[in-house]
Amino acid sequence: MKFTGIERQLNILDYALHSLARRPGRHLSITFIFALVIFLVASFQMVTASLKHSADVLLKTAPEITVQKMVAGRQVMMRVGDMARVGKVFGIKEIYPRVWGYHFAARNGANYTIIGLDPARQRQLPPYLDGVKMPLAPGEAIVGLPLAKLLDLGGRRVFSLARGDLSLKSFRLAGTFPAASDILTGDLLVTNIADARDLLGMKADEITDICVSVANPAEVRTIAGKISRVMPGTRVLTRDQIRKTYQAVFSWRSGFGSICLLTALAAFFILAWDRASGLSAGERRETAILKVLGWQTTDIITLRFWEGGAVATMAFLLGVMAAWLHVTIGAAALFRPVLMGWSVLRPNLELVPVTRVSDFIIVFTFTVLPYLAATVIPAWHSATVPPDAAVR
């Protein structure tokens, strides 16, 4: 008699699939619930990965080092002349000024972020500004899509914002940031440095940041340290620090959501345990028949394992596919309130799906493996049905 382990496994798997098909109600319900749990976990994982990825891509255009003056723990203005002190540090390729601040719009209760860039630096705004003629002409501005909607421009290209003294400052819309960058540009208005100063009520030589690019990227931390020493009382931020701050914020929010989802996951595994351990009279009889016909206890455990594996695999595929659609097409509608929402201006998020094998492995590890573990002991228990139950 020919005996092969693989054929035996395939035969039992074949029987397991037939067995699932014979009790569709029972198995479809557990598959559906499990798929729902996997959908939630996978969506969260994918949204977090996409957000981190988006932040990474956009931060590539940020200056390598940003210097800000601090007094009493709060940021204060610097003068254009302060840039000369930074320029003495060896290894710096370029220094340029930047102005930024918040504009409160009483009409809708939102804060807009205003950034004023030196015209020479505006060419570095791409890659997300195709079609916008650079540098910006005086009075021109680029805004995030959510902000453009909030300004309710309709077909108009010109809009006004109120200065501190309530007089109006007019801007001409040069373009909008693409939706893919909403996460960082949702509430943003970028204009010339002089126009920004005008709107924010700053003096002609005042700046908020000194932006630094270095000749050798490996030297960023060293140069940042040197700047701290030549300009005491300043905060020197590297791009890597800003990235880590973003990652930490997303990770914290993701972790909070994950804890909530893990609670749901735990509840599901208790349900799975309960379902797997509660054999119906028909299932007990079937097990007894199989054992009388020569199936070993290990064959029955294998059968239950394949049944569980098929349910888990089907649920995993359904859950992950639904999560992918939810994140890419549905823009993660279920999780946006948790992961986003820093201000009144909610980004109109278009997530770039980040498909990483490691994310799938994480979801698989935290869902399918515990499910199989939760059902294996009840499966063993069910396999110990005595065969004489079929004879009586």
Partner 1 sequence: MIELIGVNKIYNQGRANEVHALHGIDFSAEKGEIICLQGASGSGKSTLLSIIGCIFGPTSGRAIIGAKALSRLPDRFLTLHRRETIGFIFQQFNLISGLRVLDNVALPLLPLGISPGERKKRAMVLLERFNLSHRADFRADQISGGEMQRVAIARALVNDQPIILADEPTAHLDTALSHDFMTIIAGLKETGKTIIIASHDELVSTHRAIDRIIAIRDGRLHVS
Binding site for partner 1 (CB under 8 A): 1-8, 11-12, 14-15, 18, 21-22, 285-286, 289-297, 299, 386-388, 390-392
247-279 burial, b at 16+ Cβ within 10 Å, e below that, comes to beebeebbeebbeebeeebeebbeebbebbeeb
CB of 12 to partner 1, least distance (A): 6
DSSP letter at 137? P
What value, to the nearest 5°, has the Cα angle with vertex 84 and ends 82 and 85? 75
Nearer to partner 1, 181 or 287 (CB): 287
Alpha-carbon distance of 152 to 105, in angstroms, equals 13
CB of 295 to partner 1, least distance (A): 5
CB of 21 to partner 1, least distance (A): 8
CB of 283 to partner 1, least distance (A): 11
Nearer to partner 1, 62 or 389 (CB): 389
DSSP letter at 88? T
Nearer to partner 1, 49 or 379 (CB): 379
DSSP letter at 356? -
Nearer to partner 1, 228 or 297 (CB): 297
DSSP letter at 128? S
CB of 29 to partner 1, least distance (A): 18
CB of 282 to partner 1, least distance (A): 9
CB of 5 to partner 1, least distance (A): 7
Provide the Cα torsion 326, 327, 332, 334; round to 10°.
40
Nearer to partner 1, 360 or 380 (CB): 380
Q: How many other CB atoms sit within 10 Å of the CB of residue 356? A: 12
User: Can you list the alpha helix ranges (DSSP code H) found in the chain?
Assistant: 5-22, 24-59, 83-87, 145-151, 182-185, 193-200, 220-230, 239-277, 281-292, 297-328, 336-339, 357-383, 388-391
CB of 301 to partner 1, least distance (A): 12
Q: How many other CB atoms sit within 10 Å of the CB of residue 373? A: 13
* Placement of tokens 């929402």 in the chain: 341
Nearer to partner 1, 18 or 229 (CB): 18
Alpha-carbon distance of 176 to 190, in angstroms, equals 10
Nearer to partner 1, 263 or 280 (CB): 280
Long-range contacts of 21-29 (CB under 8 A, 24+ apart): 26/275, 27/307, 27/311
Nearer to partner 1, 7 or 56 (CB): 7
Nearer to partner 1, 207 or 290 (CB): 290
CB of 382 to partner 1, least distance (A): 16
- DSSP codes of every residue in 148-208: HHHHT-TT--EEEEE-TTS-EEEEEEEEE--GGGHHHHTTEEEEEHHHHHHHHT--TTEES
